[in-house]
Amino acid sequence: MNEDRSLYPEHDENGKPIIDLESHKFLKLWQGPQHPGITGNMSLELTVSGDEIVESKTHVGYLHRGFEKLLERRLFVQCMPTSIRLCVAEPDPNEYIVSTAVEELGGIEIPDNAKWLRMLSLEMARLQVLLRGVPGQAGTFALGLGYQWGNYLRDLILDSFEELTGGRVYHMYIIPGGVRGNLPEGFKGRMLEKLKLIDEFVVKIDKLIFQNVVFESRAKGLGHIPKEWVDKYGVYGPAARASGVMRDVRKTNPYLNYDQLDFEPHVTTEGDVYARSVVRYNDLQMTVDMIRQILDKMPDGGDIRAQTPNVLHWKIPKGETYVKCESSRGEYGMYFVTDGSDKPRRAHLKGPSYTHANALLDKLLINANIADTAAIMVSLATCPPEIER
Amino acid sequence: MNIKKLLTPFTAWGNVTKDPVTIKDPLNERPGADRYRGFHRNDVEACVGCGSCEDICENEAIDLMPAKDTKDGDSGLRPMIDYGRCCWCALCVDVCTTNSLTLSNEYTWISTDPEDFRYIPGIDKKEWDNNNDKGWKKPEPNYEFYPLKRIQPSHLSPEDRSDSFIEMMHGYSKDQAMQEADRCVECGICTATCPAHMGIPEYIKAIRNDDLEEGLRILYDTNPLPEICGRICTHKCETVCTIGHKGDPLSIRWLKRYIADQNPSERYKKILETENLVSKGKKVAIIGAGPSGLSAAHYLVQMGYEVKIFEKLAAAGGMMRYGIPSYRLPYDQIDKDIDYILSLGVDIQYNINVGNGEGEISLETLGNDYDAVFSGTGLHLGRSTGIPGSDNKHVYASPDLLRWIVEGKEFEVPENVVVIGGGNVAMDITRSMARLQMKKYGKVGVITTALEGEDKMPADREEIDEGREEGCIINPGWAPKSVEIDSNGVPTGLNVVKCHSLFDSEGRFNPQTDEDNKEFWPGTMIIESIGQGMDISYLDGKYKDQLEFGPRGRVQTDEYYQTGLPWLFMGGDIIKGPDVITGIATGHKAAVGIDRMLNPEF
Amino acid sequence: MQKGINNLIEKFGASDLVERRSGLSFITVDQTKAVAAITHLKDIDGYTVLSFITAADWIEDGKMQLTYMLNNPAEVAEIAIRVMLERKKEAGESMETIHHLWPNAKKWQQELKEMYGVDFPTSPGVNDSFILEGWDDMPPNRRDFDTKQYAEDTFFPRGGRVTHDPATYMREQLDPKDPQYYTKKKKKDINS
């Protein structure tokens, strides 16, 4: 078909496409709620012309459990088991932001040892996400092999989580006041062995994905986010850095002991799926390096938790705060309001998917191919639970 | 097209010759990690069923079910886990007051019956019960969900208090009380052990909420003498406090005192809503204005009875006033509690003895004039050891001396005193004599002994420690043999021999001594403080046959302290105890019994 | 003080400033001036990122708080604009839209309409359902919506569960004739 596709559909004077379904030139297509582009459930209501998308609308609500409202009924310590379920794939940032918000409003200073342990668990969480996410990007183009390899290594990191925290997926490790355990014996050595395997994996992945003509030809130029959109649409983390804007809370607003680590988040300017893959590929290597630095610099044992008031009736004076950290997807924050009682008045989770997968995705999908929706969604690391909470 | 990039991915074929990484038999080859949070285990012998696990469980997965015998400090309940709700967060483990609850690292379990997945760990036996070293335990170090260290109120230093009868313990400040109250987990295990079943978690919560008026109302529900009990209660509640399993038990007594201290007596009637009590016209007589009598009077007058107390001495309070030194319980605090009870309309006649002698009022008269009589006459007679020389006039009984100190009666304070006895009363007289000696001579010369060894002494630990701080020599584990008396008839000291054990193998009182290991302790005054006896001679006469007497001459009563004479109720130390809080409890229950008898419609 | 705060106070009469920590301030702006203040922050003071819009329900004060979290990436600073709306008993508070400043604002506004009942007239799709489907009860994030009651009415809890309060159970076991309840009942009787 050599026709100039930009002619379809025609646009009215406001720039809106004129879509007349009766004309049989357009088709409504539902993708989801089981969608290969996401962990979780979400639907895309696409209007296509041929195999090209002319209009997209996201539909969420398949995972709504009312977490924010549930937190309003829970003691501060009871918020933890609920809040970690806000994001299945990477629960640790939830633990961190809720705990930190409680500590900040409750006036608790945590021990230095606990700060390092928190950083370790946060970086391990990022690592396990990226081990699946980086090759997973290729998986959306049916290049599934790297994903299999990545999943094996991710399992090894989950084993480490199991050793450190007692849980594989929901770790319940960071808790108001500190963390729930020092490193088990021999943990460092085993972790460093696993990091060596990941180093090998990083080389193999490069050959498999980035030295791959299929991936390159499909990912380059796809889902382009111009630099100006970063602020306008609220683009965070790796996606923003792929469009030439430095966005990394660890660097801009250092929390815990991140200012003591040596790291430089990768920034590139192309702004397409390929660029985002490269940024996250660099993040993966950077995370491995950061875990090595953390293991090297952290103290050998020590206090794990500051004494809080009795958690069964800990009341926090009226106040509000916004605590954020860098998740693998970008800025991840908790707006927390207390009212003097033993339960939060309001807890609002702000995850990057909210802006990525709503207004921005609708925009990015226009003129994309039906087969490319998954790739674009994965490149934005969409996580529906943090949209509907 | 870039040929290199077309071919490079095919390097993945290099993996064809490598072994797969899959675990072939995960059920056997892959146990949970050492910290893995699997199914619950509970050491049911260590668990006391406090229910903190149930409180913290955000999923409401835990129920408390009867599983063991209920006894002091142990509710007999044990947690039952519903695995349909549990999310394995293990907060229940971290909050556990006894560290009995843990999670095993077992994560595989198959059953076709869903009801199986609701069980009481430790009671319903599971194969992972014995796998104690693996799984989730409360993290270490310094990881506590509630502070374990007690907040100590300030007190006078030994130097400042050793010659003074000024109250030595200062009350809690607001901050201190709030911090101490914060440590409570509200299990209520203490409530049943308290003889009066005070609403302890509730009034501690009132302190946390800074609602001390509500706190006072809760106190008066069960105890009309909170200023007094807030200072000298034997605080059995603190011995069973669940926080005491891992740390210091809550300072329940000082918290109670804090509530009472902070409420001014002028506001009591308003707070307690007792400004307009209505009389029902029936009359009750009470013999003795001690804890039990005052307690009975308080609850009876609240129920609408006309109450009159007959008191032998010149002031009300009984042993609380005449037996407890004022450095522990100042008189103005006794007055605060008692004046409130009297202000409710309780009539009191002082200096009148109930008995059959001249100038005394007889029990028969009371029985005729009143609809019911409550007697709480207490234990005022000192018991004697009966050792040679103990009949000397310089050998005293502690209740007499303590009363003389209160009454301000003059008596000789010698430089050296020997006290026989290891209970709280012995400590009271020891420390009172030490103060008098300090005033007179500038030094302390008291030596106190007890049959019991150091760790078995019945006195409160803090009493012993504080006595020693004040310069008293407390030397337990000796049996008195004889009082040495010189030619003038004045004692020169006490002969003692080492005492090894008090009870024989069958549990009978049978002290074993080592006659070769003996000492002589000089002292010109010997004080016996080995327990007190009662004087119930007022029962003699026509009623005696209608009463039943039990061991140690105590009158037998039913659970409402009603005797064989339907109109006669008895309580306090002569029936139960002895201690103040038991006296209060008996008085309260007897008041209920009297009301049930006089107003059977309820 | 953070960039922009002075302007907010002087030009827009902002009040109740709380500087939570370096680079994070909370400040209240009157409802009528809020959009102008936000526009000013975005266009003049460099607060170019809208982090989120959300609400907090102060039912006892009769206020519905809207919080606009604005981020200035260059200065590494955040300002949260609080707007205290008069809370209505049956929902339906109203606020001006800011979707013209940030296109994604329409989603938060749509969500606030659905979950809190705060309307943003002229915001695109504000009346479309966002998360809920076929919801006919009050907006569920309002404080007076009882989630537990809703769950109990809607779902079927597993039967046969009982529990015991340790304090009550122990008293029943150790002292069945506890005088307390009796006295309490009596006391009530006298006062009535």
pLDDT at B419: 93
What CATH class does B281-379+533-598 carry? alpha beta
Q: Which residue in chain A has the smallest CA separation from B181? A: A310
Which of B295, B223, B219 is closest to B258 using CA atoms? B219
Is residue C192 pLDDT above 60, yes or no? no
With a CB cutoff of 8 Å and minimum separation 6, the contacts of B28 are none
C5-158: CATH, from 3.40.190.10, 3.60.40.10, 3.40.50.300, 3.30.460.80: 3.30.460.80
Contacts of B553 (CB under 8 A, 6+ apart): B534, B536
What does the pLDDT read at residue C191?
45
DSSP assignment string, C104-145: THHHHHHHHHHHH--B-TTSTTTTS-SS-SS--SS-TTSTTS
Beta carbons of B511 and B484 less than 8 angstroms apart: no
Chain C nearest C-alpha distance from B170 (Å): 31
CB distance C167–B188 less than 8 Å? yes
CA distance linking residue B268 with residue C105, whole number of Å = 58
Q: What is the rounded CA–CA span in Å between residue B170 and residue B179? A: 16
In angstroms, what separates the C-alpha of C149 from chain B's closest C-alpha? Answer: 15
Nearest CA in chain C to A231: C49
Using 50, 70 and 90 to split pLDDT, how confident is the model at C190?
Answer: very low
| DSSP tag of B129 | G
What CA dihedral angle connects B436, B439, B443 and B449, to 10 degrees? Answer: 10
d(Cα B205, Cα B212) in Å, to the nearest integer?
10
What local confidence, expressed as pLDDT, does residue B433 receive?
A: 92
pLDDT per residue over B340-376, tens digit each?
Answer: 999 998 999 999 988 888 888 888 888 889 999 999 8
The reported pLDDT for the residue numbered C183 is 57
- Nearest alpha-carbon partner for C95 in C142, C55, C41: C55
Among the partner residues B88, B136, B146, nearest to A310 by beta-carbon distance: B146
Residue partners of B438: CB distance under 8 A and separation at least 6: B162, B163, B444, B470, B471
Tokens (6 digits) for A35: 């969608």
Give the residue extent of every domain in chain B: 30-130, 158-270, 281-379+533-598, 384-530
The answer to whether A90 and A325 are in contact (CB under 8 A) is no
Amino acid (1-letter code) at residue B242: T
CA distance linking residue A132 with residue B91, whole number of Å? 30
Q: Which two tokens stand for residue A62?
A: 């398949």
Q: Under an 8 A CB cutoff, do A164 and B147 touch? A: no
Beta-ladder partners of B285? B308, B373
Least-confidence region, from A255-269, B67-81, B588-602, C64-78: B588-602
Nearest Cα residue in chain A from C82: A320
CATH class (in words) of the domain with range B384-530: alpha beta
Residues of B in contact with C162 (CB under 8 A): 63, 65
Element holding A200 (H helix, E strand)? helix A187-205
Interchain CB distance below 8 Å, A304 and B143: yes
- Judging contacts by C-beta atoms under 8 Å, the chain C residues touching residue B591 are 179, 183
d(CA A169, CA A89): 8
Residues 129-168 on C with a CB inside 8 Å of A are 129-133, 140-141, 143, 145, 147-148
Closest CA to A208 of B16, B12, B1: B12
Strands (DSSP E) contained in chain A are 27-31, 43-49, 52-59, 174-175, 178-179, 319-327, 330-338, 344-350
- Render the burial of C18-57: b for 16+ CB within 10 Å, e for the rest: eebeebbbbbbbeeebbbebbebbbeebbbbbbbbbbbbb
Strand pairing category for A319-327 and A344-350? unpaired
| Mean pLDDT confidence for A310-331 | 91
- What gap in Å lies between CA A345 and CA C12, rounded to an integer? 28
What pLDDT is recorded for position A1?
A: 41
Least Cα distance to B582 among B308, B348, B295, B251 occurs for B295
Task: Kindly list the distances between the CA atom of residue B193 and the CA atoms of B77, B517, C170, in Å, as whole numbers in the listed order.
Answer: 16, 41, 9
pLDDT digits (tens, 9 = 90+) for A291-301: 999 999 999 88
- Average the pLDDT over A143-158 and give the result: 89
Q: How many CA atoms lie within 13 A of B142 on its CB side?
A: 15
Cβ distance A312 to B2 less than 8 Å, yes or no, reads no
Tokens of C126: 């504000």
Put simply, the answer to whether B187 touches C166 (Cβ < 8 Å) is yes
Residue type at B130 in one-letter notation: N
Domain borders along chain C are: 5-158
Q: What is the pLDDT of residues A51-89, one digit of tens each?
A: 888 888 888 888 888 888 999 999 999 999 988 888 888
Structure tokens at C24: 């994070």
Tokens matching residue B405: 């100190």
In this structure, whether the domain defined by B158-270 belongs to CATH 2.40.340.10 is answered with no
Ordered mean pLDDT values, 10 residues apiece, chain B (602 residues)? 80 85 83 90 91 91 91 90 91 92 89 89 87 85 89 85 85 90 91 89 92 91 91 89 91 91 90 84 90 92 90 89 89 91 91 86 89 90 86 89 89 90 90 91 90 87 90 90 89 90 80 87 90 85 82 84 89 86 91 87 58
Chains linked to C by 3 or more Cβ pairs within 8 Å: A, B
User: What pLDDT band is residue A180 in, cutting at 50, 70 and 90?
Assistant: very high
Chain B residues 314-353 within an 8 A CB cutoff of chain A: none
Tell me which residue in C107, C131, C147 faces A64 most closely, judged by beta carbons: C131
For the domain B30-130, what is the CATH code?
3.30.70.3270
For residue A165, the chain B residues in CB contact (below 8 A) are 35
Q: Do residues A108 and A89 touch, judged by C-beta distance below 8 A?
A: no
Task: Give the dihedral of Cα atoms B55, B61, B63, B68; nearest 10 deg.
Answer: -100
Q: Does C168 touch chain B (CB under 8 A)?
A: yes
Both tokens of C78, joined, read 């955040």
Domain A67-388 fold is Cytochrome-c3 Hydrogenase; chain B (1.10.645)
Question: What is the structure's pLDDT at A356?
Answer: 86
DSSP state of B123: T
- How many helices (H) and strands (E) would you count in chain C? 6, 5
Q: Which of A322, A349, A342, A389 is CA-nearest to residue A73?
A: A342
CB B196 within 8 A of CB B223: yes
Instruction: Search chain B and give the residue with CA nearest C179.
Output: B589
What is chain A's length?
389
Rounded CA separation B482/B283 (Å): 52
Give the ipTM of the model, two decimals please: 0.87
Q: What is the pLDDT of residue A2?
A: 46
pLDDT at C130: 86
Judge whether B390 and B528 are in contact, CB under 8 Å: yes
Give the per-residue SS3 of B411-471: CCCCCCEEEECCCHHHHHHHHHHHHHHHHHHCCCCEEEECCCCHHHCCCCHHHHHHHHHCC
CA–CA separation, A330 and A264 (whole Å): 15
Asked if B35's CB is within 8 angstroms of A181's CB, the reply is yes
Per residue in B427-451, pLDDT (tens digit) is 999 999 999 999 888 899 999 988 8
